[in-house]
Structure formats: C-alpha cells, structure tokens
Homo-oligomer: A and B are copies of this chain.
C-alpha cells in the first residue's frame, strides 16, 4: 500500500491541470460570486454597513412597522440564530433597529427598523442599483435570463428538493451551514 500510495502522490503532484467541465463551472460560479460579494461590500463600506446587516435592514423594511421576531429574520436569511442576535446587537448599537420584547409571548423579541435605518437604506438603494454589479451592462438580458435558468438547474442538481427560501430582494444570503432543512414549516404564532 505504501508503494501504491507514493505512486499516487507522485502522480498527483503533477496532475490537476484541467478538471472536468463540471468542476470548471463550479469554479466559475464561486469566483463570480466572490467578485459580486466584494463589489457589493465595497459599495456598502462607505456607509459602514456589511452585507448581512444590509440584508437584515431590507428584511425589516419589508416587514413594516410590526417588526419581526429574531428567529423569523434568521429563517429568511437562512442564518443561524446566534448570528442574528449579534447582528441585531450591533445594528441596534448603531441605531438602525430597535428591539422590543413581545408582551403576549415574552420569549419573543421583535426587531424593528428605525427611521435612521430607513434613511440609510433609502440612501443605499440607488447607488447599489446603479452600480456595475447590479446593472451588468455588457451582458444582454436574454443571456442573463438563460443564466438564471442554468443556475436554477445547477441548484436543482446539487440539492434536489430544496425550495429556495423567500428573500425579499436580499442581496447576499448566508448558507445553512449543515444539511439545510427548512425549519420554517412550523410557524404558527398568533
């Protein structure tokens, strides 16, 4: 086994110039996503807001004045609950959101976007939409439509049966980390 192993090692040290089309496609997606993420992060940086925080703000704006429980935000972002708590901590410290414990169920904490948060979003929406990241001049719309379909089929191929969670135009969502299951099935609340 040692002989075979070292042979394998020697072989490996030279190999890996051109993998499969599949691998190249995966690399392309990852590389492009990174580029997009970086570009958006750069756009948001002047406002001292991260992509995750921006997403939370957009979700809360969508939720309206009623606000949203912490875990409900987590569901929409597919992000773990602890992350949301700390995200909200920092955003509350910056005055973008406010939190209030629910009176009916004192376990629940509602988060609401503040006027300042709304102003921040309002000032960011346009620059984002106008940037090269979201305008994508140079790529025809028909091509983009094609790509959207292709990416959908890629997702389907990777993880069949996983419906895309609702995200109201959220820019970058987190990953479910481990075997992603939709935990949004049991949401009753009153």
Contact = CB atoms under 8 A, between A and B. Distances in A.
A163 B36 CA distance: 15
Q: Taking chain A's interface residues, is the majority helix, strand, or loop, or is none over half, making it mixed?
A: helix
A156 B169 contact: no
B134 A156 contact: no
A7 B132 CA distance: 27
A118 B12 contact: yes
A16 B168 CA distance: 6
A133 interface: yes
Contact of A157 (B5, B38, B42, B132): B132
A22 B173 CA distance: 17
A190 interface: no
A67 to B, nearest CB: 12
Interface in A106-137: 115, 118-119, 121-122, 125, 129, 132-137
Interface of A: 1-2, 4-5, 7-9, 11-39, 41-42, 45, 58, 61-62, 64-65, 115, 118-119, 121-122, 125, 129, 132-139, 141, 143-160, 162-180
9 contacts: A1-B152, A8-B164, A12-B166, A29-B147, A42-B178, A42-B179, A132-B158, A138-B157, A146-B146
